[in-house]
Amino acid sequence: MSYPPPGGQHPGPYPTPYNGQYPPMPPGQGYGTPPPPGYGPPPGYGPPPQGYPPGQYPPPGQYPPPGHYGPPPVINQPMGPGPGGAPGGWMNMPQGQVNCPPGLEYLTMIDQLLVHQKVELLEALTGFETKNKFTVKNSLGQKVYYAVEDSDCLTRNCCGPIRPFDMNILDNYKNEVIHLHRPLACDSCCFPCCLQSIEVSAPPGTVVGSVEQEWSIFCPSFAIKNPSGETVLRIEGPFCTFSICGDVEFKIMSADGNTQVGKISKQWSGLIREMFTDTDYFGITFPMDLDVRMKAVMLGACFLIDAMFFEKSRNKEEDSPGML
């Protein structure tokens, strides 16, 4: 026998289904009229909402009542005038990102970064090496980060391009969101056990990856590694890293080296700037869906490549391209 039986009637003790109408009441009795709007329900309809005395409800559209819950969260970064007075300034921080180190939210919706080194007049006039400073922008020209080298005067002027340094990468609130550490090492193929590297932490104290130079004779090569030491990407440089009226490109390759996924380009900044200063312009491109931690490591690789190949003193030495 199927359930329910045909006709909607339940045999035996099953009650008759409700048909949407109230049963008749005895004469003189009724169900009463509903209370007018704005009043509490009659007794027996359950307790009133929590936080209100019996018989009183919050006014429509104001539940819960307004109160002081602390300052509202910061949704947009403050904006300011861009270069030349054009709109721009700092980039807005994307919201709603999960599993992302604080400060790296900017990189979630970016597939290109522009790194501009600040011109230091003292260094340009005297040749005295000062701390490098960089502005990191997106493809729209909006500022993303500000990077400041942390090193002492002795190592800058004695060790030159192979000097050790720390790089503090700050957001527009002057909070350090990425920290780079480059130890003192050689950059010659004669010492394969002591090659260049840089460690990337985001936030500072939490290592997210590293860039390690690989031994090679003709073309520079680097391994991009995750915190576990596994190679995630590779960087392959050109045979000649000397910039002559054109860009110098370092290809970002897959871990097996078969597919190019991006590049780090040292952009030609003009004859006067190239000859008399070591102020450089770089462009970094990578896949949009690349993990933000690896994007931060790509930024660290850019600073390492700049220090190794494009410092003013290094260009004057005119070393052979095989000395890596």
* Continuous H helices in the chain: 121-126, 153-158, 271-276, 292-309, 312-317
Residue 201 confidence (pLDDT) = 97
Length, in residues, of the chain:
324
Query: Up-side HSE of residue 189: CA atoms within 13 Å toward CB?
Result: 13
Residue 317 confidence (pLDDT) = 42
Residue 7 confidence (pLDDT) = 54
pTM recorded for the entire structure: 0.67
Structure tokens at 228: 């576990």
Phi/psi at 124 (5° precision): -65, -35
d(CA 283, CA 268): 11
Residue 287 confidence (pLDDT) = 94
Residue 5 confidence (pLDDT) = 53
Q: Which residues pair with 263 in a beta bridge?
A: 251, 285
CA angle 127, 128, 129 (to 5 degrees): 105
Spatial contact of 262 and 284, defined as CB atoms under 8 Å apart: yes
Cis amide prior to 43 (ω within 30 degrees): no
**pLDDT (tens digit, 0 to 9) for every residue of the chain, 324 residues total?**
445 555 545 455 555 555 555 555 555 555 555 555 555 555 555 555 555 455 454 454 444 444 433 344 443 444 444 443 334 588 988 877 778 899 999 999 899 999 998 876 665 566 667 788 999 999 998 999 999 999 888 888 788 788 899 999 999 889 999 999 999 887 666 667 778 999 999 999 999 999 999 988 888 999 999 999 999 999 999 988 776 667 889 999 999 989 999 999 988 765 555 555 556 789 999 999 999 999 999 999 999 999 888 875 444 444 434 333
CA angle 254, 238, 276 (to 5 degrees): 125
Structural domains in the chain plus CATH codes: 83-317 (2.40.160.200)
CA separation, residue 264 to residues 68, 209, 298 (Å) = 49, 17, 8
Spatial contact of 238 and 229, defined as CB atoms under 8 Å apart: no
- Of 176, 173, 157, nearest to 165 by C-alpha is 157
Which DSSP category does 288 fall into?
T
